[in-house]
Amino acid sequence: MTDQIENTANNTFLPAGRQLRLAREAKGLSVDDIAGQLKLARRQIEAIEKEAFDELPSNLFIRGFVRNYARLVGLDVEPLLQYLATVLPEERVQSVLPSSSAEDGSTVMLSERSSGSRSSLLLIMSLIGMFIGVAAVYWYLQQPSSPDLALAEVSTPEVVDASVVAQASSVEVAAVASVASAATTVAVASAPIVSPNAAVVASAVLAATPVASKVTQAASVVAGEVELALMTESDSWVQIVDANGNKVMSEIVRPGFERKASGKPPFSVKIGNAPKTKLFMHGQPVDLNSYIKPGSDVVNLELK
């Protein structure tokens, strides 16, 4: 009976699908057996045996399916491929026959599946990377600036400049006062001699007095900057910037110490541990609790 089926299969006028079905039945294999060994779907095997080529992907896949099917059931491949060349639609015929590895339908499908898996993996990795990046940026924005770097920027020079100006103003006031005192002495000594000259000297003293007053006022403007004071119950990073953009304080304030800073208001204040920090302006406490937001100990406020 096997010889009869082989003779029938070699008949070029017998449809390829029927030859494959007869060979399968002769070997006692079911459609599911063939589908499992070729890694194809049951409907694809049935479409090949019925020659329902419009239900299959393309001529390339059809040739590969038939080639593998024929090898599995022991049929000669070439007559079947010649038969396919006569029955497949013209628009689906390939101008150049691909190599056997390219014609292997299962190999092509596995390659497509592998490519799809790689694309999915790359997409997942990209999404994970984006999520990690966004989380890192959000965490960084929630942290205060590095206090170690900011310590080098504490604005001690501004405080020194203010004291130098105040000292210079004091020297000028003392000089004016000395001139006024000397003028008064001259006026007293000259009074018994000539009254008009005494009047002139007195006028000079009166004229010098407003000058001294103006110098004193100028010194008080420079030295009269608003002073802020801080105390903490635990380490707290503090940064204070005055109206001129000077950082009058940028450091970690330790517990048990009072830190003071002065400058021109308004002040931009940032405190890293607000619940444990006390701030005073003009000697009066500033209520930091009203500036604390839920879930954060960092406070940003402006003092005028």
Predicted pLDDT of residue 167: 52
Please say if the pLDDT value at position 5 is more than 80: no
Per-residue pLDDT of 28-72, as tens digits, reads 999 999 999 999 999 999 999 998 888 888 888 998 999 999 999
Domain total in the chain: 4
Please say if the pLDDT value at position 240 is more than 80: yes
Please say if the pLDDT value at position 145 is more than 90: no
Does some domain include residue 242?
Answer: yes
DSSP 152: G
Predicted pLDDT of residue 173: 38
Predicted pLDDT of residue 4: 42
Please say if the pLDDT value at position 96 is more than 60: no
Give the residue, 91 or 269, on which the prediction is more confident.
269
Residues 54 and 8 occupy one common structural domain? yes
What is the domain-level CATH number for residue 6?
1.10.260.40
Residues 16 and 32 occupy one common structural domain? yes
Predicted pLDDT of residue 104: 52
Residue 195's pLDDT band, with cuts at 50, 70 and 90, is: very low
* DSSP run (H or E) holding 269: strand 267-271
Residues 262 and 290 occupy one common structural domain? yes
Residues 190 and 267 occupy one common structural domain? no
277-281 and 267-271 beta bridge pairing: unpaired
Residue 100 makes CB contacts below 8 A (sequence gap 6+) with 67
Alpha-carbon distances of 157 from 41, 89, 195, 262, rounded to whole Å: 83, 91, 53, 12
Of 44-53, 82-91, 209-218, 276-285, minimum mean pLDDT range:
209-218
Residues 235 and 218 occupy one common structural domain? no
Does some domain include residue 179?
Answer: yes
Give the residue, 167 or 243, on which the prediction is more confident.
243
Cα–Cα distance, 225 to 127 (Å, whole number): 53
Does some domain include residue 151?
Answer: no
Please say if the pLDDT value at position 125 is more than 80: yes
- How far apart, in Å, do the first and last CA atoms of the chain sit? 108
Indicate the residue among 175, 207, 223 that finishes a domain: 223
* DSSP run (H or E) holding 286: strand 284-286
CA-angle at 96, arms to 38 and 88, nearest 5°: 60
Q: Which domain holds residue 247?
A: 226-303
What percent of the chain shows pLDDT beyond 70?
Answer: 60
What percent of the chain shows pLDDT beyond 90?
Answer: 38
Give the residue, 234 or 190, on which the prediction is more confident.
234
Predicted pLDDT of residue 139: 87
Residues 10 and 79 occupy one common structural domain? yes
Does some domain include residue 48?
Answer: yes
Does some domain include residue 285?
Answer: yes
Does some domain include residue 150?
Answer: no
Predicted pLDDT of residue 107: 56
Predicted pLDDT of residue 295: 85
Residues 247 and 189 occupy one common structural domain? no
Residues 299 and 233 occupy one common structural domain? yes
Question: Contact 253/277 with Cβ under 8 angstroms?
Answer: yes
Does some domain include residue 149?
Answer: no
Residues 290 and 230 occupy one common structural domain? yes
How crowded is residue 56: how many other Cβ atoms within 10 Å of its Cβ? 19
Residues 267 and 287 occupy one common structural domain? yes
What is the domain-level CATH number for residue 283?
2.60.40
